[in-house]
Amino acid sequence: MARQHQLPRNPNRSFQQHSPARFIDPLTAAGVLLVLVAAVALITYAALVIPGRLAAAGGPPESFRAAATLQSQLSRTPEPSIEAGTSTPAPPTATDLLSTATPTAEVPVSGSSNGSSVAGGGGSIPTPNPHGDWPLPSWMEPRYWISIPALNVEAPVIALAPRLVEEQGAMVWRLPVPNSYSVAWDETSAEPGFVGNVIMTGHNNLYGAVFGDLDKLSYGDEIAIWSEYGVFSYYVSVIQYLEYKDQPLEVRTSYTQWLSQTSDQRLTLISCWPRQTATHRIIIVATR
């Protein structure tokens, strides 16, 4: 029988089959990464905004509700009997009711916002908010509360001062817009319930878009401002759209007429419009 010779094994030779190398399409990888980033951003944004909206949905703080109840009781106080030969006392004014409801509160001296820039609340004008997101920190309480029944809007109002910024080579005052689900009251303007122009701003497309539906308001719609003095109702009398984007500085500064103080009791709401492009400013004026 012929002797079979076994070939020596080559240790450097592998008889194992290797699977072919896998290549990841760069475009597919980039797409997946963008989806993940967008998902994280949406989750983070929702975590910041949704709690604020849910908290605001509960309505004004209890202290404001109590002040409104006292205000209502005072307005229904029966008139005292008048003895013969005495003069009839004048009916209580709004100021009388306010001073009665809050004896220790001083009537503020309203400043002027002339020279301010009608900035509004669009995403194209980011404004840092030193107070964080709503719900507000425990050390800061809302100064007022705004209710717009026609839009189902309930939101806290915080006090902020205009800031001086450079725009097209000139220094102008920029109205504050809080980066939270809240509304800013220009603390140099009139206080709600008093004579003068109460100026408030809010975002229309960010942080829950508290003023995102101002363009849906109609003439005569109610806007209620709650405070430590009670609740004050204003009714829409002016709806104005101002072209803002790419306008020269002199045109923008001419809009400050809407910020001037007045001899009547009015509330001026300012935001960007429309929601997608924010090329204009929407002005809502409501009077008492």
At 127 the pLDDT is 38
At 38 the pLDDT is 73
At 173 the pLDDT is 83
At 24 the pLDDT is 74
| Residues 6+ positions from 194 with CB-CB distance below 8 Å | 95, 107, 108, 110, 265
CA dihedral of residues 222, 225, 231, 235 (deg, nearest 10):
-20
Would 66 be classed as within a structural domain? yes
Would 138 be classed as within a structural domain? yes
Length of the chain: 288
At 105 the pLDDT is 27
Would 34 be classed as within a structural domain? no
Euclidean distance between CA atoms 235 and 266, whole angstroms? 9
Would 7 be classed as within a structural domain? no
Would 16 be classed as within a structural domain? no
Would 118 be classed as within a structural domain? yes
**Amino acid code (one letter) for 78:** P
At 279 the pLDDT is 94
| Residues 6+ positions from 226 with CB-CB distance below 8 Å | 60, 64, 65, 67, 68, 144, 145, 146, 147
Question: Per DSSP, which regions of the chain are E strands?
Answer: 116-117, 144-148, 153-160, 163-167, 170-174, 183-186, 196-201, 222-227, 230-243, 265-273, 280-287
Cα separation values, 195 from 97, 185, 231, Å:
14, 15, 15
At 141 the pLDDT is 72
At 5 the pLDDT is 58
CATH of the domain at 240: 2.40.260.10
Backbone angles phi and psi of 251, in degrees to 5: -70, -45
Strand order of the β-sheet with 170-174 is 116-117, 170-174, 163-167
Q: Helix, strand, coil proportions of the chain in percent (round to 5)?
A: 25, 25, 50
Task: Work out how many domains the chain is built from and give that number.
Answer: 1
What stretch of H or E contains 39? helix 26-56
Euclidean distance between CA atoms 165 and 127, whole angstroms? 11
Under DSSP, the state recorded for 271 is E
At 123 the pLDDT is 39
Q: Which residues of the chain have pLDDT under 70?
A: 1-23, 40-42, 44-49, 77-140
Q: Is the dihedral of CA 267, 270, 275, 280 positive or negative?
A: positive
| Residues 6+ positions from 247 with CB-CB distance below 8 Å | none
Beta bridge partner(s), residue 241: 282
At 104 the pLDDT is 26
**Domain, as residue range, for 188:** 44-74+93-287
Would 129 be classed as within a structural domain? yes
Would 24 be classed as within a structural domain? no
Residue 235: CB atoms within 10 A of its CB come to 13
